[in-house]
Chain A
Amino acid sequence: MLIKELQVINFRNLKYMKAAFDTGIHVIHGGNAQGKTNLLEAIHLLVTGRSFRTTMDREMVPWTRENYEATLIRAQVEKGGFEERFLLSFNSSEKHVYVNGNPIPRLGDLLGRINAVLFTPSDLQLVRGAPGLRRRFLDVELSQISRPYLHHLQRYDLALRQRNALLKQHQRRPALGDELVAWDEQIAVHGSELIATRAEMIEHLSTIASGMYGEIATGTEKLTLEYKPNPSRASGDATAIASQMRAALAASRNDDIRRGATSTGPHRDDFDFLIDGRAARDYGSQGQQRSCVLAMKMAELTLMESSTGEPPILLLDDLMSELDESRKRAFLQSLDSRIQTFITATERDLVTSLVSPRSVWRMEDGHLTEES
């Protein structure tokens, strides 16, 4: 996967930029608030159709600029030996995506066309933050590599909202039993697929991340990822999990009716980062926690490559300020030169002193210029 050419018009402080890239490491340096992260955000928008920084499209468009009409992000991407053209155009009220000139009616259909792994400073929240962030991480990654996962996720989400709506009607309509069973079944069928896929993914991630962590971290400690499915004893294949979920839903029915919400199912899943068997969230140092996330992201990259057949694009935002010297060196030197990597840094030397990049760019007040 390779972005050969990128053009960005009217995106945050990037008024106009056009650049060509090859494989290898590309450094984008500049002071704070010059537009480095905006560039990575623009690339990542082509991956998911959504920003990793905001849910408000309005925040990404310079709508106060005079004569502003639309924001355009255009890319020429090499994928599996073929070139594909991507165009995302939006303003505060509309959003359109085109691939090779054909409109993509639903944003969900964009996922998986460009594969990328993103690492940002806020990813530390994956270790420290609420379970919802970790579920979202799993959903975004799995949706990129598995169409059936996305399908089950969308259906599970709808079935869950329907069931919750029904539970809330209980006070007015006491005899809900038969109706609930119909939604329980939808939740069990689609939810079991989610749990089975997540369990498999986390097991893979754990194995790979464990090796990566050994490379980045200096000590001898060992990283493992532990899936904590809901219902908690869910295991086996999707069919087995579905029947476990049916039982769990039936068991919690009265509770659910009282609370007006569904208390069991993969919408309550979580996973833990364990360092030598202890939760990194509670016992890990900041450095250890960062290494955990980075190791998992690199594991994700490996996993994506093995499931799609080619390495994804790697986007590293402000990584240099995130890691200490020895971790940084170990990490940068472990990067595979086949992978197209974009790294932002406040100083070019922070990167170039450790590895030799393919190209170096300076970002200043939204203007990107290549340096030799």
Chain B
Amino acid sequence: MAEKLPDPLERLIHELSRLPTIGKKSAQRLAFHLLKAPDQRARELASALVDVRERLRFCRQCGFIAEGDLCSICTDERRDSTLFSVVEEPFDVLALERGGAFKGLYHVLMGRLSPLQGITPDDLQIASLLARIDASKTTESPVREVILATNPNVDGDATALYLSRLITSRGISCTRLGLGLAVGSSLEFADELTLRQALDSRRALEKPMP
């Protein structure tokens, strides 16, 4: 018969095991590690957890991480507010920002359509996206293009398609991130699927002379 663990430890394991990618065993290992570690370590972790919850929230406008009501991107006046990029998760914003090439604003869906997991359009930040687009129409800088930057898999593609119908019906241009060869890669090592996609999305280098 297994020995029952003391309540506080049991509770910690339970809470840890609710985190993504953490199973029962990993949770146990982490909990024991925290128990053994210097007092300071556990306190720092606890205060970091509380800090994150108290000081950060999701931007009221776009859903990215924000310290105040709005995130640093939404409040940046140099950004092009007529151009939106729609992504699945807040960390996708970080990925696009790392590139530094995108100068518009974001909208985070907080997921992707997946009937199997019971995720419907109502569970995503779709209504708020449409409201943002509609509200911009009466301003000086109405949204002119929405770039759908959901992931290029079945669920991401379906989500993009669902959104594109809603957006184009509002008379706004809607685009999808291109697929193809990775920068710095070589043709020799590209797999045949990537090459196919790259061929499909090829483009002219120059416009032919009229």
Contacts and interface: CB of A to CB of B under 8 A. Distances in A.
Interface in B180-210: 191-193, 196
A162 B114 contact: yes
A178 B165 contact: yes
Interface string A106-132: 000000000000000000000000000
B116 interface: yes
Contacts of A169: 115, 118, 120
Nearest to B164: A182
B155 interface: yes
Contacts of A183: 115, 158
Dominant SS among interface residues on chain B: helix
Interface stretch (A151-159, A207-215, A248-256, A363-371): A151-159
Contact of A182 (B159, B191, B192, B193): B159
B196 A148 contact: yes
Nearest to B157: A186
B142 interface: no
Interface residues of A, number: 21
A186 B158 contact: yes
Given A165-B115, A179-B121, A147 B191 contact: yes
Nearest to A160: B154
User: Which of A147, A169, A182 has its CB near the most chain B CB atoms (within 10 A)?
Assistant: A182
Name the interface size band of chain B.
20 to 34
A6 interface: no
B161 interface: yes
A286 B158 CA distance: 47
A151 B193 contact: yes
A214 to B, nearest CB: 36
B162 to A, nearest CB: 4
Contacts of B157: 185-186
A185 B191 contact: no
Nearest to B159: A182
B114 A148 contact: no
Interface string A169-183: 100010000110111
* 7 shortest interchain CB distances as A-B pairs: A165-B115, A166-B115, A182-B162, A182-B158, A182-B161, A165-B116, A158-B154
